[in-house]
Chain A
Amino acid sequence: MNTSPSNRKANAFHAQAKNALNDATLKQALRSATDTFAERRSAAIAAVPDWEALREQARLVKDATVARLDHYIEQFADNAEQAGATVHWARDGKEACAIVQKIAEDNGATRLVKSKSMATEEIHLNKALAERALEPVETDLGEWIIQLAGETPSHIIVPAIHMTRDQVGELFVDKLGIPPSNDPKTLCAHARERLRSHFAQADLGISGVNFGVAETGSILILENEGNVRMTTTMPKVHVAVMGIERVIPRFKDLEVFLRLLPRSGTGQHLTTYQSILTGTDSAQDSANGQGPEQVHIVLLDNGRSKIAVDEKMRETLACIRCGACLNACPVYQTVGGHAYGTVYPGPIGAILTPQLAGMHEAKPLPFASSLCGACKDVCPVKIDIPSLLLELRQRAVEGTDHEPATKRSFFESMSWRMWSWFMRGPKRFRFASAMARLGQSMPLVHRLVPPMAAWHSTRELPRLAKRSFRNTYKGPSK
C-alpha cells in the first residue's frame, strides 16, 4: 500500500480551485455535506443555553495557556512521565518521524495501525514510515478509504468527503476484490472485517491527541468509530503524536472543551467515545490485554513555538480542530479541501499553513477568502480568522524577516499611485469618475486592459450610476 502525499503544490491553488469548480460531483457532495454539518451544528448549539459563555471560557483558557505554553507543556511532560508514559520532544516533522520510527524498530514492531490524526498528516508520517517498510494501516474508515485510493484527506473531520459511494464501491472492488456494491452499509461491513484482522495482529498503534492535561499528564481522544479505542488498547505499544498547543491546564477544563468540540464539529452532543488515558495501566492489566505495555507521547513543535511568541498571530493556537469553519466557508464549500494543496484546508488552513510551513509554501492561501466572517462566527474558540488573514496578507505583500516581499508589478503600483492621486482632489476625482463612466460604456475596456483584466476574470465590477450623487443632489439635469 502506498500513500502518496499530495503532489499538488500549495501555490497552485488557482489552478486546483478551477479544476474543483468544474467537477460537478465534487461540488454537489461538498455542498450537501457542509450544509448538513452546518444545520446539525445549529441545532446542537441551540440546545445549550450557555453556549456563548462556554466559548468565552474556552478562549480565555486557551489564551492563558498559549501565553505560558512553556510552563504548561513542561508540566504536562513531567506529569505524563510520572504516570508511566515516555515523552519525546520533536522540533520538526522530520524529528518526529524519526522518533516514531525508532520506537517501532526498538520494539521490533512491523505491523502498525493508526487512527486519524492531523498532526501526523502534517508531518507526512506515513510516507516516512513507508520508507522503512513500516507504513501503518489507517483505521478510521474515511482515512482508510483514501489510503487505499492513494489520496490525501480533504476535510479535517470527514477525510473522504470528496468521494461518492460509487467511487468508494469501485475502489473496494478494485483493491479488496469484493463483489460490486455501492451500499455504504455493505462497504462498511467489509472494512470492519479487514481492519479487525489488522487490529488483532498489530504490534504498535499510533494516534493523535485532542487535549493533553498539564496538571495530570492525561490525554483525551474523541471519536465515533471505536478505532481509536482499538488502536490505543490492542497493540502493546501506543504512540501518541501531540502538537504542543493541544495542552490545557486542568483536568476539569476538559469539560468545557468536550461540550464545545463535538457540537461544533459534527453537531453531536458528544462523540460516541472519549478515551481519557493517563500513563500506563498496571503491568498485570497490560498483560491481560487491558492496555498497552508502553505509552509514548511525541510532543511536536514544527513551527508552533514561533507562533506562540508572535503576539498578533498567537490566537491561531487556540484552534481545537473542530472543522466548523470549513463547513461555514463559502470558498471551501465551493472548491473543497484538495484545492488548498495543503494538509489543513479551509479558513483554519489559510492561517495555519503559511505559519507552519512558511509563506513561500502557501502564499495564495491567505488571499483565498472573501473575508465574509462566517468562520469567525462559528468558531467555538472565537478565533478572529479574518483579521489574522489580513495580517498574513500584509506580511505576504510586505515580507517579514524570514520571508521576502511580494513584488508588485509596475502596472499595479503605478495604478495604486494614480488612484491615490485622483482621490485626493475634488476636481481630479470628478474627472476620474467621468472617465470611469465613459470607460464603462465601452464594455471590453475593463476586461482587456491590465491590471483590470486579471481582477475581472473572476469578478464583476459594480456599475457606476449614470449620474453621480453629487450631480443628482444639485438638481435635475437640464
Chain B
Amino acid sequence: MSSAREQILGTLRSQPGLKVPPLPDVMTSASSDATPIAERIAAFTAILNKLGAPVDVAPDMTAAATRITEVLAQHNASSLALSDADEVLAIAQTLPATIERIPHDAPRESLLRSHAGLSTAQWAIAETGTLALVSRHERHRLSTLLPDLHIALVPASRMLATLGDAFVRIGPNGAPDAPTITFITGPSRTADIELELIVGVHGPKALHVVIVADA
C-alpha cells in the first residue's frame, strides 16, 4: 500500500486536465507614503484606547521609566517579568528596587506568579493598533502572555502606517524573520458568553503602551 502522502498527492494529480488559473501578484497595503510619525501615533492610540489599552508618549527614557513605575503602582504590581530586549534590560535597572525583576529564562513558576511583564515591540502598526514581536530580536513569548499586565515600551521610529508595512519588515525576502512572530492588539478578550465583552480571559487583563521618542 502506498503511503498517505503519495495517496493524497495521487488524488490531487488524478485530473491533470483541469484548469489552472494563474497566481496573481502579491497585493499589499505597504505604503511608501510618509505619513508623519505623530499622525501614526495618534491613529495607533485612538484604536488601542477603544480596546481599553492606554497609550502614553514619553520624551525620553527617564520619563518612560517614571511612567512605567506609575503604571506598576496603579496595578499594585511589585514583580516584573522581563523580555531580553536591550531597552528592557536597561530601563529595568532604573526602576525602584522594590520591584522584583524576573528574567526571561527564570523558572516557569516565577513567571506564572509575576504581576506584570515588560517588553518592547519590533514594530507597531498604526492602522490596526498592533504590536509585532519577533522572537529572534526579543524573547517575548511568556513575559507578554502570563502576567495580568503587559507593558510595552516602543521607540517612536518603529511606528509603521499599515499592516503591509509590517509584513515587509517581518518577512524580508518573503520569509519570516524568526521562528515566532506574535501580533498583539489590545488585552486578551472573549465574547463567548452571550457575546458580552470580557477582558483578560487567558492572556493579560491589561495592556499599556509607552511610546518613547528616539534618542
Contact = CB atoms under 8 A, between A and B. Distances in A.
B8 A64 contact: no
A296 to B, nearest CB: 14
Contact of A185 (B111, B167, B175, B198): B198
A305 B130 contact: no
In the A-B complex, list the 7 residue pairs whose CB atoms are closest, starting with the nearest: A226-B203, A142-B192, A226-B202, A70-B12, A305-B11, A274-B183, A288-B105
A250 B179 CA distance: 16
Contacts of A249: 23
B130 A251 contact: no
Contact of A233 (B28, B145, B184): B145
B21 A275 contact: no
What class of interface size applies to chain B in its complex with A?
A: 35 or more
Contacts of B183: 270, 273-274, 276
Interface of B: 3-5, 7-9, 11-15, 18-24, 26-29, 47, 104-105, 108, 111-112, 127-130, 135, 139, 141-142, 145, 163-164, 167, 170-171, 174-176, 178-196, 198, 200-204
DSSP majority for the B interface?
loop
A32 interface: yes
B193 A225 contact: no
17 contacts: A61-B24, A77-B5, A91-B7, A141-B190, A158-B191, A184-B194, A188-B200, A188-B201, A270-B163, A274-B183, A275-B182, A285-B135, A289-B108, A289-B111, A290-B142, A291-B180, A309-B18
A226 B188 contact: yes
A272 B184 contact: yes
Given A226-B203, A285-B135, A270 B190 contact: no
A258 B191 CA distance: 20
Contact of A227 (B11, B164, B195, B202): B202
Nearest to B178: A278
A281 B203 contact: no
Contact of B202 (A195, A244, A258): A195
A68 B20 contact: yes
Contact of A61 (B7, B23, B141): B23
A29 interface: yes
A187 B139 CA distance: 32
